[in-house]
Amino acid sequence: MLNINKIRQDFPILLQQVYGKPFVYFDNGATTQKPLCVIDAVSKYYTEGNSNIHRGVHFMSQQATVAFENARETVRKFINAPHTHEIIFTRGTTESINLVASSFGKKFIEKGDEVMITAMEHHSNIVPWQMICEERQAVLKVIPFHENGELDITAFENLISEKTKIIAVTHVSNVLGTINPIKEIIKKAHEHNIPVLVDGAQGIAHSSVDVQDLDCDFYCFSGHKVYAPMGIGVLYGKEKYLNAMPPYQGGGEMIQTVTFEKTTYNELPYKFEAGTPNVGDVLGLEAALQYVENIGIENIALYENELLDYATTELLKIDGIRIIGTAKHKAAVVSFLIDNIHPYDAGTIIDRFGVAVRTGHHCAQPLMDIFEIPGTIRASFAFYNTKEEIDVLIKAIYKVKEMFN
């Protein structure tokens, strides 16, 4: 059992008040809050160890370089990647996906080829593929999902063709909460020698990720979704693809030799890490992953499922509530509508109770179009949330209904 009161002491932002009421933070799908150990790790780097890495011969640079590369090893262990050189530091999931779409696309996608995504993707896993398809004159195919938010696996199998060059699928839907059967998808894709990219932005904080067990070819995630700072992310890629792909950006660090006639590129992972890296936030990411490991991702998942079940049960007791996304396997995300009240109007009132929820299309406009709705109210939970906080949300929803009816 998790000691939630003790855990909450690690997150000073949760101890504040909003509008004179205790702050209830249910916007974890957008970004998670940061424990003191993460804040301290970033602060310590800038107060005691700030220096550029890899290129310096002086003491401070060498110390920072060791710390940076140790953090890469921590990430490797966290997702059980085979090699540290398969771990690329980026600014986040969005940049990781853009890197693969651009670099893989230039190497492997030609006119008439096909890229496959799902209908529940975040814009970050739609737009980069649209861009490379337009550039390479390829075709974007979309896997549909059922009314409950589960992918149509039969349709997926039927969409695969000899022209399919890559499949990009979200691990967990940021709107529906659906946990997709990515291991099954990867297995079927590999039967046709098709690589798979997994958008793990919403998956990394809620479940154990073992890229070797999944056998995914690329896995992307953002630090700020897993209690680390913003502006840092990870791309895991299988060595065989990363070696074959051209650099995504040019500049310092990613080079081996430069002349005005020709440039040769650095080895992995540095080939894809042009410029001065975000060292401080990499160390913050390491601290966050270690914090999660200390609590135990299995413990986190069990407790968050309790919160999801409780919230779902309490919401369904309210007349006029429509939950969008009722898949059998869900992460701790519930998106809903209250009668015919616009999500923005409802969210504004809920906010006055000190409750932070997300309203709108959640960067998933095509999904909203499928449901023919303008958006939803989304409550996304983390292991520092409580059932008592959910009760405050329920109370706020009753007030919304009272004001609009």
If you write DSSP's letter for every residue of 276-303 in order, what string do you get?
Answer: S--HHHHHHHHHHHHHHHHH-HHHHHHH
Beta-strand ranges (E) seen in 121-268 are: 139-143, 164-170, 196-199, 218-222, 233-237, 255-258, 263-265
The neighbour count for residue 19, using CB atoms within 10 Å, is 9
Supply the pLDDT for residue 258: 78
* DSSP state for residue 175 in the 8-state scheme: T
Domains (range + CATH), the chain: 4-30+296-404 (3.90.1150.10), 39-294 (3.40.640.10)
pLDDT digits (tens, 9 = 90+) for 356-369: 999 999 999 999 99
pLDDT of residue 246: 93
Q: Please report the pLDDT score of residue 191 as a whole number.
A: 98
* Catalytic-role residue among 37, 133, 220, 363: 363
Give the C-alpha separation, 57 to 112, whole Å.
50
Q: What pLDDT score does 255 carry?
A: 73
What pTM, to 2 d.p., does this model score?
0.96
> Would you state the pLDDT for residue 264?
76
pLDDT digits (tens, 9 = 90+) for 276-302: 999 999 999 999 999 999 999 999 999
Strand intervals (E) in 74-144? 87-90, 114-118, 139-143
Q: Is 363 a catalytic residue?
A: yes
At 256 the pLDDT is 79
Q: Say which DSSP state 383 is in.
A: T
Tell me, what's the pLDDT at 354?
97
Give the whole-angstrom CA distance, residue 38 versus residue 22: 23
Q: Are 314 and 397 in contact (CB under 8 A)?
A: no
Residue segments in the chain with a per-residue pLDDT below the cut of 70: none
